Amino acid sequence: MNDIEKLLAIHAIKDLFAKKLRYMDLKMWDGYASLHADDAYSETWKHSLPAEDQPVSSEGTRGRVVGPQAIAAQLARVFMHPTPITSVHHCHGAEIDFLSDTEAKGIWAMEDSLWWQNGDVEEHLHGYGHYYETFRKEGDRWLFTSRQLIRIRVDMTPDFWSRINA
């Protein structure tokens, strides 16, 4: 990969990442799923939820969701049940390294805010951390192949995660 091809790939990966955040915040689940390779997996919940509340993959891995539709469906379940979450995600400072001409890994600093109405109480989570993701170029597009979210700080109301068991 020459320097121009590398710059174009970095731009494409950054666009992919921006779409992921927009589709998530706007709850565009089909679009969200379309950004992932068929074998993609997400460990977004592994470090966010208590072990008993984490999804389990078909292989039995706690905290891992496998496949584009399953990844989108898990997010939709958390974001829509029992009442919709309003979310705002911001990521910046992308560090992208190429493993080959068709594979890359990236780290993004992230900040997210999520709100939902729990009866008369507004529940809130404000998180800070990093996304660790991998990508593969399939045909002419880059797709997500894995994701891990590590929050280094979380400020939230005591009952924010009560929605999981509602």
Mean pLDDT of all residues in 77-88 = 91
For residue 148, the cross-strand partners are: 43, 132
Residue 57 in tokens: 């993959």
The whole-model pTM stands at 0.91
Q: Is 40 helix (H, G, I), strand (E, B) or coil?
A: strand
Q: What are phi and psi of 50, to 5 degrees?
A: -60, 150
Reduced to 3 states, what is the DSSP secondary structure of residue 102?
A: coil
Q: State whether residue 44 is helix, strand or coil.
A: coil
Q: Are 102 and 136 in contact (CB under 8 A)?
A: yes
Asked if residues 100 and 136 have their Cβ atoms less than 8 Å apart, the reply is: no
pLDDT at 9 over 90: yes
CATH architecture for segment(s) 3-165: Roll (3.10)
Res 54 pLDDT > 70: no
Q: What is the tens place of the pLDDT at every residue in 136-149? A: 999 999 999 999 99
